[in-house]
Amino acid sequence: MKFQRFIIIILSLIIIFCNYNLALACSCSNTNEAEKIRSLKQADLVFQGEVISVSEPVTEELKNSKGVKYGNWQFLYIDFKVIKVWKGTDSETVRIKMGHDSCSLQYKIGDNPFVVASGKPLMTDMCTRGSIEPERFNEIFGEPKLIEQPQPSPTETTEGFWASLWNKITSFFS
């Protein structure tokens, strides 16, 4: 009898240790569709943009509203060239702050993700977007506003062409 109890305890401990990573998995509190949509509507900024830069991790001290220190956290700053906006900005570029951990979204230069951010400074994480399919953004917010990117003037294009051609010619002889 004691031996069986001992075996059950050992097996239970093995199961707990084997599933330890599952207990620490990233999860979001907004689980049903209505909560996800409400969370999305409360966001300050909803857009699609091209990632133009990603900073190295920056360590910052976090404090609550009473000034009590939580600790040091690592963040990334991601700069986007805005393509279309459902809510929140007319700017051509936006900087978003994001936690740097295993639960964070992964952005690479050149990606064109859909981003949902809130706060000052604007922040995003895997839960902010709330796993709502970007195709539903039009249903929730209406048609997005397209942000026109400044086009180079004809002289800039021509000068760029001649400079590029000259660089190719000179590099050939060096």
pLDDT tens-digit profile of 97-124?
888 765 667 888 999 988 888 888 888 8
pLDDT averaged over every residue in the chain: 77
Query: Is the predicted pLDDT of residue 48 greater than 50, yes or no?
Result: yes
Compute the distance between CA of residue 128 and CA of residue 87 in angstroms, rounded to an integer.
Answer: 14
Tell me the helix, strand and coil percentages in the chain, rounded to 5: 35, 30, 35
Predicted confidence band at 150 (pLDDT cuts at 50, 70, 90)? Answer: low
DSSP 112: -
Compute the distance between CA of residue 8 and CA of residue 167 in angstroms, rounded to an integer.
Answer: 75
Burial environment of residue 62 by CB neighbours within 10 A (0 to 12, 13 to 18, 19 or more): exposed
List C-alpha distances in Å: 41 to 1, 23, 34, 95.
Answer: 59, 30, 11, 20
Average pLDDT, integer, range 63-72: 71
Average pLDDT, integer, range 65-85: 83
Maximal CA-CA distance, the chain: 90
What percentage of residues in the chain have a pLDDT greater than 90?
16
Residue 20 confidence (pLDDT): 44
Q: Which amino acid belongs to residue 103?
A: C
Compute the distance between CA of residue 145 and CA of residue 111 in angstroms, rounded to an integer.
Answer: 20
Lowest mean pLDDT among 87-91, 105-109, 129-133, 170-174: 129-133
